């Protein structure tokens, strides 16, 4: 009986192997057709994704860039997207931020504006693609409004000049129906800081407040608070630990705060110095004095009594989640609420008329 079972397994096992080989060969022979079918199916599904329109009424913040100027293939440069009802604003636009928005199913063509916290290159070097996507994805008839403290005019003028020739190519190639000439580029909307905080705009139930932070010697530097239908959130911008942030962001549901771990950056500084890279070592040394540690961000979250702390603009790069514990240190002991190490594609939702915080991933 045992020998019969062995014979059965040998026969049918051989048949299974042959069938697998035949299937593999068939798949290889049809690779181009299968690839085309998969691409067509995936594209058809992707083109109908609209993660702005499908949001329930409330306040939402998505992370379209949680990285820094340091190379990190998994993270775009600093980028946040805030959706309030039918309005959508992007806060800072680091390199790759516009592309990440598209992958998240959030069309830049629907942006009502871009808000800049300051003019460090890593917070604006994705401006060109965002400006282009806003125009071409939405057939916009008006330029992208760009809000920022005094000096934003020069940034906008520079990008407009850089893209002026490209704009003529787009219009000539695609036609004014697809890319209306009036919608190209961006327009500056500077605001003056009236003290430590000032209201930037109020529209359809949404209030956006800018507040000063300490990122010396970079001035001006601000963060933003968003209030909509009883829900609220703050985005810190780049800053040292800020008492003004703690005061302005008192009681918000979510605080998205930048974070730098000095102990890990010091290891990068030492490695650079040991390899004769004096300039890189000096930069690693200098950046430690105008950012906030995870522990300090947790202390600010506790002082402001916020609902959740989300860490973003992470320094140094964290290519693996196994590094999160080392990055956080004892931050969790300094804040009684949840702490999230931000990742590109995360979306946090604050439904109107509720106290819940819902988290999803869009990529």
pLDDT tops 80 at residue 312: yes
- Return d(Cα 81, Cα 147) in angstroms, integer: 14
- Return d(Cα 68, Cα 74) in angstroms, integer: 11
Q: What is the mean pLDDT of residues 118-146?
A: 96
pLDDT tops 80 at residue 18: no
Helices (H), 147-293: 152-174, 243-248, 262-274, 278-286
Q: Express as a percent the part of the chain with pLDDT over 70.
A: 95
Nearest to 57 by CA among 212, 231, 221, 239: 231
pLDDT tops 70 at residue 96: yes
Please give the pLDDT value at position 81: 98
190 and 152 in contact (C-beta within 8 Å)?
A: yes
pLDDT tops 80 at residue 5: no
pLDDT tops 90 at residue 30: no
306 and 253 in contact (C-beta within 8 Å)?
A: yes
Between CA 207 and CA 213, with CA 210 as vertex, the angle to 5 degrees is: 150
> Who contacts 129 (Cβ-Cβ below 8 Å, separation ≥6)?
98, 99
pLDDT tops 60 at residue 2: no
At 216-262, the pLDDT tens digits run 999 999 999 999 999 999 999 999 999 999 999 999 999 999 999 99
Please give the pLDDT value at position 211: 98
105 sits in the region (left: phi over 0; alpha: psi -120 to 50; else beta) called left
Q: What is the mean pLDDT of residues 160-186?
A: 97
Q: What is the mean pLDDT of residues 287-295?
A: 97
Please give the pLDDT value at position 123: 98
Please give the pLDDT value at position 9: 53
pLDDT tops 60 at residue 4: no
pLDDT tops 60 at residue 7: no
Catalytic residue check, 122: yes
Please give the pLDDT value at position 41: 80
- The one catalytic residue among 92, 122, 227, 238: 122
At 317-361, the pLDDT tens digits run 999 999 999 999 999 999 999 999 999 999 999 999 999 999 999
At 275-284, the pLDDT tens digits run 999 999 999 9
- Mean pLDDT (the chain, rounded): 93
- Rg of the chain, C-alpha, whole Å: 25
Q: Which sequence spans correspond to the domains of the chain?
A: 2-43, 55-121+192-361
Please give the pLDDT value at position 51: 86
What homologous superfamily is domain 55-121+192-361 in, according to CATH? Answer: Ribonuclease Z/Hydroxyacylglutathione hydrolase-like (3.60.15.10)
Q: What is the mean pLDDT of residues 32-50?
A: 77
Please give the pLDDT value at position 21: 83
pTM of the entire predicted model:
0.90
Where does the pLDDT of residue 171 fall: very low under 50, low under 70, confident under 90, or very high at 90 and above? Answer: very high
**Residue matched to tokens 């605080």:** 255
Where does the pLDDT of residue 11 fall: very low under 50, low under 70, confident under 90, or very high at 90 and above? Answer: low
């Amino acid at each position: 009986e045992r020998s019969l079972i062995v014979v059965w397994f040998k026969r049918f096992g051989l048949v299974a192997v042959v069938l697998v080989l035949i299937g593999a060969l068939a798949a290889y022979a049809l690779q181009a057709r299968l690839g085309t079918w998969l691409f067509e199916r995936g594209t058809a599904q992707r083109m109908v994704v609209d993660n702005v329109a499908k949001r329930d009424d409330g306040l939402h913040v998505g992370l379209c860039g949680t990285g820094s100027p340091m190379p990190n293939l998994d993270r775009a440069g600093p980028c946040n997207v805030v959706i309030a009802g039918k309005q959508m604003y992007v806060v800072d636009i680091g390199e790759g931020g516009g592309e990440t928005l598209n992958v998240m199913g959030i069309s830049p063509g629907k942006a009502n504006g871009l808000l800049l916290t300051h003019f460090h290159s890593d917070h604006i070097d994705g401006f060109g693609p965002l400006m282009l996507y806003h125009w071409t994805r939405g057939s916009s008839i008006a330029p992208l409004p760009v809000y920022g403290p005094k000096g934003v005019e020069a940034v906008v003028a520079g990008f407009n000049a850089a893209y002026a020739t490209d704009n003529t190519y787009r219009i000539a190639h695609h036609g004014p129906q697809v890319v209306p000439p009036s919608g190209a580029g961006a327009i500056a909307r500077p605001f003056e800081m009236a003290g430590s905080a000032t209201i930037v705009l109020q529209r359809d139930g949404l209030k956006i407040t800018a507040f000063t932070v300490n990122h010396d010697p970079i001035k001006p530097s601000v963060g933003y608070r968003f209030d909509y239908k009883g829900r609220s959130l703050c985005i810190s911008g780049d800053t040292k630990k800020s008492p003004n942030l703690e005061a302005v962001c008192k009681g918000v549901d979510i605080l998205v705060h930048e974070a730098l771990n000095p102990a890990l950056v010091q290891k990068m500084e030492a490695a650079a110095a040991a390899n004769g890279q004096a300039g890189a070592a000096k930069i690693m040394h200098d950046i430690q004095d105008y950012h906030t540690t995870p522990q300090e961000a947790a202390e600010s979250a506790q002082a402001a009594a916020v609902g959740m702390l989300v860490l973003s603009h992470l320094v140094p790069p964290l290519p693996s989640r196994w590094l999160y514990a080392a990055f956080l240190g004892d931050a969790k002991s300094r804040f009684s609420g949840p702490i999230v190490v931000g990742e590109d594609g995360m979306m946090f939702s604050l439904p109107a008329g509720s106290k819940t915080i819902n988290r999803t991933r869009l990529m």
